A and B are shown apart, each in its own frame.
Chain A
Amino acid sequence: MKKVLILTLVFVAASGFVFAAGGGEDESGSVIEVASSSTAEGNIAVQRQIFGQLIDEYNAANGTAYEVKFVGNQGMDIINTRMSSNDKPDVFLLDSPADVHQYASDGLLLDLSAYAEADGWKDVLFNWAYDLSKSDGKVVTLPYGYEGMVLWYNKNIMKELNLVPEEIDTLAEYEDALRKAQDAGYIPCMLGSQDWPWAQEWYLSILYSYTGRDLVKAAVEGKASWTDPAFRKTVELYKSWHDKGYLADGKSYVLTSDDAINAFSNDKALFKLEGTWAPYWIVPLDQADQDKIGVMLHPAINDVEKPHMPLAVGGMWVVSADTENPDVSAYLLSGLLRQESQDDYLQQGMDIAPMAIEASRFEGLAPVVENMWSIVNGALANGSFGYTTWAFYPPETRVYLYEGIVNVLEENISIDEYLKEMQRLNEKELAGGFLPVLPSAH
């Protein structure tokens, strides 16, 4: 009896161990999993609502009973892991065109060409966005949520220092503003990368793009070198701002992203560098706090480029090649291109689809957000965009770009060593099969 009892217990324990991970409900077929990298609760709620509406429409029109399971917090580290396993979501978000190319070349993405043609993506999307949707001639992604780097400023401090944002266009004018802010006891420009190392590349995206868009494109494509004197001069400029305390009192890599937001929204900093996603923390502020924030393009740093907006797509929606439901998955993506879907995104302060949005959609937004979109759309209409690092650079080069710069600022390595290593990594990645996908900026 005792023996039977022990064996039974052993069997139960073994079953528990072996099958613990396999006890989930059967979700095959009727459930479409949509995975997004969004982390903010409000952003997740908006996306969940939009996908929910789309699936309801699809069910009503086709007599089906699909459900959407929307999952947030699925960053690239998680998606990469899931896609190398058998736990693949149906629809998911990748970070950049470089990621899309990597996935497409490994055959992990559904060919959306037929759906894109049927739903007229080419006519709806901006040309550059439609170009980014293709890999090896096939449409494999819906570039979504275009974003760019802009400069936010505090109107009250501007006024106090007798500065006029519209008159800060050149390097000399910008440095003059930074100096005045510092002399008055303010942090000239706020940036925090301690918990978000990627924040360093926000600024470098602007500076490299301003060094010369053609030069950046050529360097990424291997036709020019990162050791070019123009890049050297740009890194020298960045380091000089760090050394003078213009960038977060010289503590940009010691402060967190929240520190940067808090200091800026509490009138301690003149400028804050952040992309067009910043409304996610601006919109929830009190009206008075929102009203004191202004937005502008970063001033030029040389005579080569006028102020422009380094551009990225906030994400690339794709469908897994293994999905059992390609039609409904593609339907969900096409649904994101509707004008009315943009309202929810705009109200939440999220990025919108890379297509011409009706002007009326921007009415009624927080004035600073409306102004931001006016600047962004103006830059796009003029073809005045550059290249963000996270959207277009080879992955290993990109990681080194924002980690290595801290060593430059700390004087652990020289600027020449930094750029030489970037060049080495870029060359290595090109030799290893990385295919640059940079739209022409002209």
Chain B
Amino acid sequence: MRQEFSERVRKENRIAFFSVIPVFLFHFLIVVLPSFNTVYGSLTNWNGLGTKDFIGFGNYRELMTDPNFLNAIGNNLRWMAMFLVFPILFGLLVGYVLSRVEKGRVALRAMYFLPYVISAAIAGKIFAAFFNPYFGINVAFESLGLDFLAKDWLAPAHALVSVAMVDMWHWWGFLLVIFMSALQQIDPMLYESAEVEGANDIQKIWFITLPSIKQTLLFIILVTMVWSIGTFDYVWVMTKGGPGSEILSTMLYKNALFKYRAGYACSLSVFQTLLAFLLFAVFGAVRKRMED
């Protein structure tokens, strides 16, 4: 019996191994190998075309004193802060309400999810038109007497927040679906028991909902932090990372492809990766501590 069991485990392991191999190979060839090249590139003065001359840590030293780099990190952190609050909170609250709706839940969920399937290039262009000072949302604000809201939304002072709002509009529906899946796993008996005990809605959310979806929530927080470091599409489409909205990825792109500074861009890329790893590690430690 025991021998039969271990034979079966071995067989399942083999199947699992062979199933993973193609993806592993693909990942190794497309991601891991080029990553080594990027790390080496970051130690050179490569212009993106010709030979790579080794310059040690020169690019990293320059990074530490580059005001654009410090500004870009600041913008990435602001971006992350916005994404850690608004879409998660909104997705969670609407998910909680929707999970209690009996009729039309699927239709509503599909509607909220819809922005997620629209490409960044299209949504970015459409919202850039909405932000037009002559015929966009400013006209609507002014006609409603809300003149104080009629601003140059894509000017440097507001550009980052404006673009983030668009990306959050695209992103929150995805979070909603994830949260709803998690919420539907919660045993309704828990809520019924709480009601019998006289718990109000806030207490139910705090003592039942949040602990029950803790793993999902932690995963979303982690993903949000890591993706905030590498975000690119909406910013590039809407502002090209111009003044006020320069982030690490747009800075990397410009250095690699417009300034002939691919080596410097590689060092930015390595920094982004290390930052993501650092966040991952810190988050893992915090989570472990919470679970303990």
Contact = CB atoms under 8 A, between A and B. Distances in A.
- Interface SS, B side: loop
26 contacts: A10-B21, A18-B22, A18-B26, A76-B258, A77-B253, A80-B256, A81-B257, A106-B50, A106-B51, A107-B50, A195-B128, A195-B240, A251-B133, A251-B155, A253-B155, A253-B242, A254-B153, A255-B133, A256-B132, A263-B134, A395-B260, A403-B243, A406-B156, A406-B242, A406-B243, A410-B244
Interface of A: 3, 6-7, 10, 13-14, 17-18, 76-77, 80-81, 83-84, 102-103, 105-108, 194-195, 197, 251, 253-256, 259, 263, 395-396, 399, 403-404, 406-407, 410, 412, 432
B254 interface: yes
Contact of A395 (B15, B29, B50, B259): B259
B26 to A, nearest CB: 4
Given A7-B18, A10-B22, A14-B25, A255 B257 contact: no
Given A102-B49, A259-B134, A403-B242, A254 B258 contact: no
B257 A76 contact: yes
A412 B156 CA distance: 10
Nearest to A103: B49
Contacts of A103: 49
B47 A102 contact: yes
A399 B155 contact: no
Interface residues of B, number: 40
A412 to B, nearest CB: 7
A102 B156 contact: no
Interface string B1-34: 0000000000000010011011101100100000
A254 B18 contact: no
Contact of A410 (B21, B155, B240, B257): B155
Interface in B135-187: 152-157
Contacts of A251: 133, 152, 155
B254 A399 contact: yes
Nearest to B156: A410
B243 A18 contact: no
A410 B243 contact: yes
A84 B48 contact: yes
A403 B244 CA distance: 10
Contacts of B260: 80, 102, 395-396
Nearest to A407: B243
B156 A18 contact: no
Given A253-B155, A395-B259, A399-B258, A197 B240 contact: yes
A6 B260 CA distance: 48
Interface in B210-258: 238-240, 242-244, 253-254, 256-258
B23 A105 contact: no
- Interface SS, A side: helix
B237 to A, nearest CB: 9
A259 B156 CA distance: 18
B160 to A, nearest CB: 14
Contacts of B156: 253, 406-407, 410, 412
B157 to A, nearest CB: 7
B47 A106 contact: yes
A10 B19 contact: yes
Contact of A255 (B23, B26, B132, B157): B132
Contacts of B262: 84
Contact of B259 (A259, A399, A410): A399
Most buried by B among A17, A80, A254, A403: A254
Given A80-B256, A254-B155, A410-B156, 16 more contacts: A10-B22, A17-B26, A77-B257, A80-B48, A84-B262, A103-B49, A108-B49, A194-B128, A195-B128, A255-B133, A263-B134, A404-B243, A406-B242, A410-B157, A410-B243, A432-B45
A6 B18 CA distance: 9
A396 B48 CA distance: 14
Most buried by A among B49, B239, B240, B262: B49
Contacts of B152: 251, 254
Given A194-B239, A254-B152, A255-B132, A396 B261 contact: yes
Contacts of B240: 195, 197
Contacts of A432: 45
Contacts of B256: 80
Contacts of A195: 128, 238, 240
A421 to B, nearest CB: 9
Contact of A13 (B15, B22, B51): B22
A84 B49 contact: yes
Nearest to B19: A10
A18 B19 CA distance: 14
A254 B245 CA distance: 13
Contacts of B23: 17
Sorted from nearest, which 9 A-B pairs have the closest CB atoms?
A: A106-B50, A14-B22, A77-B257, A17-B26, A254-B152, A406-B243, A106-B49, A396-B259, A10-B18
Nearest to B253: A77
Nearest to B155: A254
B71 to A, nearest CB: 10
Contacts of A77: 253, 257-258
Contacts of A3: 15
Contacts of A403: 242-243
A404 B244 CA distance: 11
Contacts of B15: 3, 6
Nearest to B153: A254
A18 B29 CA distance: 9
B108 to A, nearest CB: 34
B47 to A, nearest CB: 7
A14 B15 CA distance: 14
Contacts of A10: 18-19, 21-22
A356 B148 CA distance: 57
Nearest to A79: B257
Contacts of A254: 133, 152-155
